[in-house]
Amino acid sequence: MSNNIKYWKGVEELNQTPDFKAAEKKEFAEYLPVEDFVGDKSLMEGSKTSRRDFLKYLGFGVTAASLAACETPVQRVIPHVVKTDKTNPGVANYYATAYNDGNDYADIVVKTREGRPIKIEGNKLSAFSGGGVNARINSSVLSLYDGQRLKAPRIAGNEVSWSAFDKDVEGKLQAALNGGGKVRILTNSISSPSTLKLIANFQEKYPDADIQHINYDAASFSGALSANEEAFGKRALPSYHLNKAKSIVSIGGDFLNTFPNSVMLAKQYAQGRNPEKGWMSKHFQFESSMSLTGSNADVRVPIRPSEHAAVLLALYNHVAEVTGGSKVSSSSSAYEEKVKQAAQHLIANKGKSILFVGSNDRNMQLMAIAINQALGNYGKTIDKDLTINLKKGDDNKVKALVSELNSGTVDALIVDGVNPAYSLPSQLKFAEAMGKAKMSVVFANRANETTAAASHLAASNHYLESWNDDNPQVGTYSLTQPTITPLFDTRQMQDCLLKWMGEDKTYYDFIRENWIATSGMAAGPAFDEFWNTTLQNGTYKTDAAAAAVESEPKAIDAVSVARSIGKQATGEWEIEFYQKTGIGDGNQAHNPWLQELPDPISKITWDNYIAMNPTDAREMGFATEYGEQKDANTVNITINGQTFENVPVIAQPGQARKSLSVAVGYGQTIGKENEVIGFNVFPAMNYKGGEVANYTAEVKLEDADGKYQIATTQTHQTIMGRDSVVRETSFSTYQSGDKEKFNPEHTIATHKGEMSVNKVDLWASHPVAAAGHHWGMTIDLNSCIGCGSCVTSCTSENNVPVVGKDEVRRSREMHWIRIDRYFSSNPEDVENRNYTEMETPEDNPQVVHQPMMCQHCNHAPCETVCPVAATTHSNEGINQMTYNRCIGTRYCANNCPYKVRRFNWFSYQNLDKFAALNPSQDDLGRMVLNPDVTVRARGVMEKCSLCMQRIQDGKLTAKKEGRPVVDGDIETACSSACPTNAITFGDYNNKASKVLERSKSDRAFRVIEEVGTQSNVYYQVKVRNTETTSA
């Protein structure tokens, strides 16, 4: 199957440019820019240090070093004065809590060591988020230890004590409240019942005052909410059962990345994509920029942003034709055939399909509801009654608030959890408007654009220091509990509000009282037990069925809706605004783990950029290949009248022709000095109708004649022309059941005839087969969506250093696990190709995401070349790396066919250059380090250890309990973080283990097995639900 598909990581590999061919043979970049790093070359040459001076310093240095070495450092050991019951040094404690920053939600478990939270994992008990996490959520532990966090409240920029702050705010607030003034509370979408109750109490307590609470989402779902309100009478989003959908069509909806509860959607999506159960879903994606979701689609059609509406209407007409609805007028579309194909598939799977629309336009969303209704999906794959409460923002109300502020009538504005001065369209001029309120109190973790314009800055807790509750979905409740005492003098909004209302209780008491009232239980032992159980489990699901949304669904007048969608404005260029998987809406833009996580599609780190189709880029004369010596071009771009100068432009395969895309969430100006990453395009977004539109045709683009350094990992660690790295097949081929067709065994010609490569060997085999454990991993390429959750989870678990943009450019990123993204030509396109025109593979390539880490080969090429035996094999099948023995020859990395070894070029934890990048490399941030994993020194190799510390811990627990290790006891950081369960870890010697079962499946293969490495990691062939049988 895989034999005639050509895979390529980037445009340079596709075109086999001379630079690329030269570079792919090298493990390390040839050009070692030591001088750039050490300092100015001319300065060095002009230095007056003579040979004699040098020898003097050398002698002094050696003497000083040896003297220092002689002294025994005195280490102190300081026990608690009064030890708490359950915190024992050396023993990890786990607390269930919930993450909700307004953009992402997941029930999580926080691992603490010696009282410090160090790792975030999914809560496996959660029925709502399904036990997974995404990269943004599992990286959030690092932001707790951000040295730039606000350490005390401020009035007019001066740090004050909380008592002074309370006095000032309370005075002004009470004056306003008692005088019947206007108070406005602007927050992220709040789904916490207790917080909502608290705000309601606040409103009730001052009936004369005009108090309003406005929800605001930077990444708005306002259109979808309004559409659902119109159709069903309740302003809330429905729940999806993606695992039941056999046909999935998405028009611009990046549901695996940005939709509420995308973690659970990803899990359900992967369940529907498992071919072993006899069927798998077919996924059509119509979109402009290649999204994470689109990269997983079976049929992906690149369309311009303005064409989304036409495709939607055409799709409606096809469905209406069959289901008997009234047809609407629609312009003919160039994608007619694909739209028809999608519509037919939807119709064929009525009641077992879902249509997603990504647009924030109310009418577009209404049309989507009409189609889903026509397909009979409500009540089957879509549950309108089981509403999700995570998104509540109303773009209109935010706009109304701004005009209220501008009128100068607002006495007090309280802002929590959002940064509107950064993320609202510039046409609203929020910062200016906020200045007109008599008092503005902004709660924030660190200084930002909104706090800069506020009169009062309330330093807020990190969520790991706070109490809260949540009601993410009808009938599902969760509790957020603090896992550490606030590190700084901070206080959460709810506690402040209680204080300013004159209530003498904490928010914790308030939550408990509210739960007592809601549950109908009396305070007492029964409630305490319920409360403690919920606190321990983290989540609670009521048995009662979801109450049906009150009103009967209203029939949607498709014709008038279609008319109001109308003809979309087009332009020479159109630009779409999207969220990256790492940075999202920018809540955690200061988190270096997320900045260094390569984008799943572009593989670019530490930047946002204008993405363009490669053919367009070539026509414009822009560079299409990027590397250490190859910079991107820059453009001046004017979006909705707002000009961004000298911003980089990137050729992105799969981007629709003549369309552009740019990620939001970058360019936050207030942070570390001189450090602004990317540029902020939120202000360039504009209101269109009642919502903020996520694309615009008002774009002017001109070449700025500049160069921009790009840090991309695209061409790092190449496959060196070996083409058996990934294997894929079509569903029909897979169903034929002929393994030879889709997953043939590698054979080799010997004197005894053709033999399986596994039977021919130079080496004596390791005795791993029966003795003790034999650890290994399987990765299902069909389930992997490429989200990168495993990468940041590994970073967090294994103390992987952050190296920064400069070093990533030099191919020196340190990630132990990476996700290789391979493009390949779409076989359908190849088949249907008109022979008069040349195929342009970059226009619409297919994508394979392949997590790649140390394969723990039983016959490891790295082990045989190490001159000091620093890398050896264990009897449990693990390729061990012993840092303290390594002398840094790097032979092992040169000899590794999987390119998974990483070299410590610098002492990342000691050099200022890196400490400035990464909070986890400064004194406060060091608290996030996992104490069970060595922090590697300069000059040694490192690589995936299969989370050796977790294996040892799991074995020890079993030994202490006197029982065998049970399959599933031990999970690696990557496997536990994976929202789709693509990664499985276990013991091949355990006959009941899942890894054994998966490694024996028809789809199991080992990457470049033909080189005879006998690796312990099995992958499973990717199956696409396509008709094509060839290729």
Q: Smaller CB distance to other proteins: residue 709 or 872?
A: 872
According to DSSP, the β-strands at 642-651 and 610-612 are parallel
Minimum distance, C-beta of residue 930 to other proteins, in the bound complex (Å):
11
- The residues facing 576 across adjacent strands are 661, 695
* Distance (Å, whole) CA 228 – CA 563: 19
Q: How big is the chain by its Cα radius of gyration, in Å?
A: 29
Query: Cβ distance 921 to 928 under 8 Å?
Result: no
Q: Smaller CB distance to other proteins: residue 22 or 91?
A: 91
Q: Out of 167, 759, 959, 1000, point to the residue binding other proteins (CB under 8 A).
A: 959
| Count of C-beta atoms within a 10 Å radius of residue 21 | 13
Q: Could you give the count of Cα atoms lying within 13 Å of 905 in the half-sphere of its Cβ?
A: 19
Kindly indicate which of the ranges 136-144, 152-160, 654-662, 956-964 contains the residues binding other proteins, using the contact rule CB under 8 A: 956-964
Number of residues in contact with other proteins under rule CB under 8 A: 51
Q: Smaller CB distance to other proteins: residue 452 or 933?
A: 933
CA 536 remoteness from chain centre = 27
Minimum distance, C-beta of residue 993 to other proteins, in the bound complex (Å):
12
Pick from 133, 270, 107: which is nearest to 796 by CA?
133
Q: How buried is 537 (Cβ within 10 angstroms: 0-12 exposed, 13-18 middle, 19+ buried)?
A: middle
* Distance (Å, whole) CA 1002 – CA 998: 9
Q: Which of residues 59-98 bind other proteins (CB under 8 A)?
A: 69, 72, 74-83, 88-91
868 touching other proteins, by CB under 8 A: no
Q: Smaller CB distance to other proteins: residue 748 or 769?
A: 769
Q: Out of 254, 932, 967, 971, point to the residue binding other proteins (CB under 8 A).
A: 932
Q: Smaller CB distance to other proteins: residue 569 or 992?
A: 992
Angle at CA 173, nearest 5°, toward 170 and 175? 105
Q: Smaller CB distance to other proteins: residue 798 or 825?
A: 798
Q: Smaller CB distance to other proteins: residue 298 or 967?
A: 967
Minimum distance, C-beta of residue 932 to other proteins, in the bound complex (Å):
7
Coil, strand, or helix at residue 720?
A: coil
Query: Cβ distance 610 to 647 under 8 Å?
Result: yes
Q: Smaller CB distance to other proteins: residue 523 or 966?
A: 966
* Distance (Å, whole) CA 183 – CA 205: 13
Kindly indicate which of the ranges 302-310, 389-397, 545-553, 873-881 contains the residues binding other proteins, using the contact rule CB under 8 A: 873-881
Q: Out of 958, 994, 1002, 1028, point to the residue binding other proteins (CB under 8 A).
A: 958
* Distance (Å, whole) CA 361 – CA 846: 29
Give the contacts of 947 (CB within 8 A, at least 6 positions apart). 797, 798, 972, 973, 985
Residue 834, token pair as written in the block = 């008109």
Minimum distance, C-beta of residue 959 to other proteins, in the bound complex (Å):
4
According to DSSP, the β-strands at 105-113 and 818-824 are unpaired
Pick from 108, 133, 124, 105: which is nearest to 237 by CA?
105
Q: Smaller CB distance to other proteins: residue 429 or 873?
A: 873
Minimum distance, C-beta of residue 996 to other proteins, in the bound complex (Å):
13
Minimum distance, C-beta of residue 469 to other proteins, in the bound complex (Å):
33
Q: Out of 15, 518, 872, 907, point to the residue binding other proteins (CB under 8 A).
A: 872
- The residues facing 413 across adjacent strands are 184, 440
- For the chain, the straight-line distance linking the first and the last C-alpha, in angstroms and rounded, comes to 6
Q: Out of 97, 492, 945, 1014, point to the residue binding other proteins (CB under 8 A).
A: 945
Residue 236, token pair as written in the block = 């809330």
764 touching other proteins, by CB under 8 A: no
Q: Which of residues 189-248 bind other proteins (CB under 8 A)?
A: none
Residue 1031, token pair as written in the block = 């290729």
Q: Smaller CB distance to other proteins: residue 801 or 1012?
A: 801
Strand ranges (DSSP E) for 585-688? Answer: 604-605, 610-612, 632-639, 642-651, 659-663, 687-688
Q: Out of 382, 965, 973, 1023, point to the residue binding other proteins (CB under 8 A).
A: 965
**Binding pattern for the stretch 891-930 against other proteins, x by CB under 8 A and - elsewhere:** ----------------------------------------
Q: Smaller CB distance to other proteins: residue 406 or 889?
A: 889
Query: Cβ distance 969 to 996 under 8 Å?
Result: no
Minimum distance, C-beta of residue 970 to other proteins, in the bound complex (Å):
13
| Count of C-beta atoms within a 10 Å radius of residue 730 | 21
Phi, psi of 823 (to 5 degrees): -95, 150
Residue 3, token pair as written in the block = 């034999």
Kindly indicate which of the ranges 693-701, 847-855, 872-880, 903-911 contains the residues binding other proteins, using the contact rule CB under 8 A: 872-880
Minimum distance, C-beta of residue 112 to other proteins, in the bound complex (Å):
14
Q: Smaller CB distance to other proteins: residue 170 or 997?
A: 997
Q: Smaller CB distance to other proteins: residue 89 or 721?
A: 89
Kindly indicate which of the ranges 246-254, 260-268, 941-949, 1007-1015 contains the residues binding other proteins, using the contact rule CB under 8 A: 941-949
Q: Which of residues 989-1008 bind other proteins (CB under 8 A)?
A: 989
Minimum distance, C-beta of residue 180 to other proteins, in the bound complex (Å):
45
Q: Smaller CB distance to other proteins: residue 43 or 69?
A: 69
Coil, strand, or helix at residue 383?
A: strand
Minimum distance, C-beta of residue 60 to other proteins, in the bound complex (Å):
21
Minimum distance, C-beta of residue 921 to other proteins, in the bound complex (Å):
16
* Distance (Å, whole) CA 201 – CA 179: 18
Across the beta sheet with 116-122, the strand order is: 92-100, 105-113, 116-122
Query: Cβ distance 186 to 424 under 8 Å?
Result: no
Minimum distance, C-beta of residue 768 to other proteins, in the bound complex (Å):
11
Minimum distance, C-beta of residue 861 to other proteins, in the bound complex (Å):
18
Pick from 702, 686, 579, 592: which is nearest to 642 by CA?
686
Q: Smaller CB distance to other proteins: residue 75 or 836?
A: 75
770 touching other proteins, by CB under 8 A: yes
Q: Out of 948, 996, 1021, 1023, point to the residue binding other proteins (CB under 8 A).
A: 948
Q: Smaller CB distance to other proteins: residue 867 or 962?
A: 962
* Distance (Å, whole) CA 626 – CA 679: 19
* Distance (Å, whole) CA 975 – CA 793: 9
Q: Smaller CB distance to other proteins: residue 590 or 773?
A: 773
Q: Smaller CB distance to other proteins: residue 479 or 814?
A: 814
Quick one: DSSP state of residue 772?
A: S
Query: Cβ distance 572 to 600 under 8 Å?
Result: no
Q: Out of 885, 1000, 1029, 1030, point to the residue binding other proteins (CB under 8 A).
A: 885
724 touching other proteins, by CB under 8 A: no
Minimum distance, C-beta of residue 80 to other proteins, in the bound complex (Å):
4
CA 453 to each of CA 156, 334, 416, 431: distance values in angstroms, whole numbers, following the listed order: 9, 48, 14, 6
Minimum distance, C-beta of residue 877 to other proteins, in the bound complex (Å):
11
Q: Out of 193, 689, 690, 772, point to the residue binding other proteins (CB under 8 A).
A: 772
Minimum distance, C-beta of residue 955 to other proteins, in the bound complex (Å):
7
949 touching other proteins, by CB under 8 A: yes
Pick from 644, 611, 668, 738: which is nearest to 11 by CA?
611
* Distance (Å, whole) CA 572 – CA 63: 70
Q: Which residues in this chain contact other proteins in the complex, by CB under 8 A?
A: 69, 72, 74-83, 88-91, 767, 770-773, 872, 874-876, 878, 880-885, 932-935, 945, 948-949, 952, 955-956, 958-965, 989
